[in-house]
A and B are shown apart, each in its own frame.
Chain A
């Protein structure tokens, strides 16, 4: 094989968006398929899984293989791609009976509350019935096949990426519709009608193929612009016609033949599928949470070593930010990874926090008996430290100074050691650490929570080991009493409660993200969130701080603020938010609305932090990071508005000012993303 051919076969696209969507579809299907198998096992379900996976692989080959790289140079490559998308992928996907597994793969509440009303909507049902009726599906398929091969339409698709996309969407979806009635297992239509259905479709296919082969003129002149091999454009067109004719026809004729065999052999309606009720399926008893609780010192030690390496490089290494661990790890990768962990699992960074080992060391060499001052048992100090951090980040160019970063980390270690060396409990984590507060707030949208498995077990408990501890292990140092704990606020995921509980009744449970925003009930060690001004201020500072932190690295804002960092930070995190919140409070009638609704803006701020971190962590690896950033902002604004709507119980006048503010933050976030940004700490 010559070098050009080798290069051609190496021309895989690997577009991350397409691959992510295909993997997400496979993940959902397998998740739903596994859930279904725990109920009843259909004898044919493994073949369905294989068919669905094969369908996705065919799509992958069509859109990521060299076929894609050469579709604008060879009509035959483009035709093969169309064949895969229109005639092979759809039947394979449908043979996987994807509807139920995909629905089962989604969160139950989303299916019931979100999709349920649409799926049971008579209008939807009527449209679906109409669109899947064989005459309609056949007609749509035939029209799409013919129309898109007319020279005007095909040339349009070759010249415009948007129309190219529409063309392929039409091919794929008309393929799905075409094969739907044939493969519908609940269809009451006689099988024989699909024999003429397939044969007539093949006639259309044959006619088109013959046109390609015998027309004698070049149908799509674009393919004559560049000739990349000895194959002339006219010969390439004949080859494309033959591909469409022979393998294309087989895809219609083989099923038609099988159907004919079935009809003429007198086989009655399909045998009902055989099911086996699943009983006593072995359930894995391995307790991952307890395992992590026992071994969490290891990640803490690993992160401690990393922190030491970062400090050493910051002090003694080259002071070139992108080449120094203190310039890259804390400001680029740690932020991105900790946010990713928070949004997909929970507060894993606090669980593996390197300061904990130092704190514990402090307790062994220092008295650790004093009580944290009553006046400081709130979040005000941490909030002030967080604002100071935002200011220092810009004013002192922390991101660009490995030396200062190393001192900052060392200062953090020393503060943790001294505070927890002299004061009892986890005073540093609970009242001082601004990173911890940041993680607590972000973890309000985490999908996992340390919580009791069965409340009834706690009602019979007399020892309360989860908070008091026992001879084996300490209880919760942040004073969170598990039966009264709600959400992730103040929880460092230390898992002491998991280890301490003698009934194995505390675990890492899956929850609906952001659900606890709406629960204004008593929370252990916190009380009611709407009564805690310090917590509300902390949440708002983190929310608006996201925009301040991101805006400060854009060109227009940098030109605007110059060296007025303190004013910009205070205005952005305190003054402007206070004004906006007060205005919304005036516009939305009712008691306690400000405290209730202001915290619901947090998802918008969290999304901005995530988009910002994604930019720094991924821009070097992903060619176009903007879609990910916008999708994160979308998720944030939609979640905020959903929470506001739910909290307002559908009262538009109450919800409108807050929803408008959320949209305003969204627009601000988009504006920030669209500005030229400094590639801080990145090569």
Chain B
């Protein structure tokens, strides 16, 4: 969406990592905040990022952050996905981020494991994953350029007919 506005209006802003706060919980010796870049978590690739802090709000920069997602399948099996969140994948380098591919909708059990300087902490929570939006819903502004420019072209032709003497 931002890119559309960047195109239409020359100035607009990027989202920081973060965006929507999914949860904010203590995890052992740490406090963690889990963000989703988009407003809702949907099936497909989601940018998830984690802020790891000490209780005094100072940021922990040397942690190892593992994110696990689990969902019980209709067959009774448990589907478990794991990803490592890193500073390298984050725009805001104080966060740990990972593009997490969530394959199915529904409620997922999320676990964040934090390790730093011999201390560990785990926070758990649940996230509701919505169905993915159709691609057109994400990219409609780009597609809308065609009819918009088509209309501009027709107006251009009308104006050229009407003000032809002046244009010459």
Contact = CB atoms under 8 A, between A and B. Distances in A.
A17 interface: yes
A82 B59 CA distance: 26
B159 A118 contact: yes
Given A4-B94, A228-B94, A650 B157 contact: yes
Given A4-B94, A17-B3, A169-B11, A670 B143 contact: yes
A554 to B, nearest CB: 12
Interface stretch (A6-14, A313-321, A428-436, A564-572): A6-14
A18 B142 contact: no
B149 A638 contact: yes
Interface stretch (B69-77, B85-93, B107-115, B121-129): B85-93
B91 A13 contact: yes
Nearest to A232: B57
A116 B16 contact: no
Contact of A637 (B1, B7, B11, B146): B146
B9 A173 contact: yes
B19 interface: yes
Contacts of B156: 113-114, 117-118
A70 interface: yes
Nearest to B3: A17
A228 B16 contact: no
Given A121-B163, A627-B139, A670-B143, A4 B59 contact: yes
Contacts of A666: 146
Contact of B11 (A59, A114, A159): A59
B7 A17 contact: yes
B21 A165 contact: no
Given A21-B10, A63-B12, A228-B57, A641 B150 contact: yes
Interface string A226-238: 1111100000000
Contact of A3 (B8, B9, B61, B91): B61
A634 B142 contact: yes
Contacts of B7: 17, 21
B18 A73 contact: yes
Contacts of A412: none
Specify the main secondary structure of chain B where it touches its partner. mixed
A362 B63 CA distance: 65
A301 to B, nearest CB: 40
B119 interface: no
A364 to B, nearest CB: 53
A409 to B, nearest CB: 36
A22 B160 CA distance: 31
Nearest to A638: B149
Given A7-B93, A641-B150, A642-B153, A225 B21 contact: yes
Interface string A67-80: 01111110000000
Given A117-B156, A120-B163, A225-B24, A164 B15 contact: yes
B94 A7 contact: yes
A245 to B, nearest CB: 23
Contacts of B39: 159-161
A608 to B, nearest CB: 15
A226 B24 contact: yes
A116 B5 CA distance: 25
B136 interface: yes
B135 A626 contact: yes
Contacts of A650: 157
A8 B94 contact: yes
Interface residues on A, range: 35 or more
Given A165-B1, A626-B139, A627-B142, A229 B14 contact: no
A144 interface: no
A164 B11 CA distance: 12
B79 interface: no
Interface in A254-273: none
Interface string A208-235: 0000000000000000011111100000
B142 A631 contact: yes
A414 to B, nearest CB: 44
Contacts of A116: 167
Contacts of A624: 3
B142 A69 contact: no
B17 A165 contact: no
A229 B3 CA distance: 31
Contact of B10 (A70, A73, A172, A673): A172
Contacts of A70: 16, 92
A25 B11 CA distance: 12
A118 B162 CA distance: 12
A630 interface: yes
A673 B138 CA distance: 13
B59 A13 contact: no
Contacts of B134: 674
B6 to A, nearest CB: 5
B5 A169 contact: yes
B12 A229 contact: no
B15 A229 contact: no
Contact of A228 (B53, B135, B166): B53
B57 A227 contact: yes
Contacts of A637: 146
Contacts of B51: 226, 228
Given A69-B16, A164-B15, A11 B94 contact: yes
B14 to A, nearest CB: 5
A161 B135 contact: no
B2 interface: yes
Interface string A654-683: 000000000000100010011000000000
A162 interface: yes
Interface in A82-122: 85, 89, 113-114, 116-118, 120-121
Nearest to B93: A7
A68 B14 contact: yes
A626 to B, nearest CB: 6
B18 A18 contact: no
Interface string A18-30: 1001100100000
B13 A62 contact: yes
A81 interface: yes
Contacts of A227: 57
A166 B61 contact: no
B61 A4 contact: yes
Most buried by B among A11, A62, A637: A11
Given A4-B58, A169-B5, 14 more contacts: A3-B61, A4-B59, A7-B94, A8-B94, A11-B91, A17-B2, A17-B3, A62-B11, A63-B11, A70-B92, A118-B159, A161-B1, A168-B11, A225-B24
6 contacts: A4-B61, A18-B14, A113-B156, A117-B160, A630-B139, A638-B150
Interface of B: 1-21, 24, 33, 38-39, 51, 53, 56-59, 61-62, 87, 90-94, 134-136, 138-139, 142-143, 145-146, 149-150, 153, 155-157, 159-160, 163, 166-167
Interface of A: 3-4, 7-8, 10-13, 15, 17-18, 21-22, 25, 59, 62-64, 66, 68-73, 81, 85, 89, 113-114, 116-118, 120-121, 159-162, 164-166, 168-169, 172-173, 225-230, 624, 626-627, 630-631, 634, 637-638, 641-642, 645, 650, 666, 670, 673-674
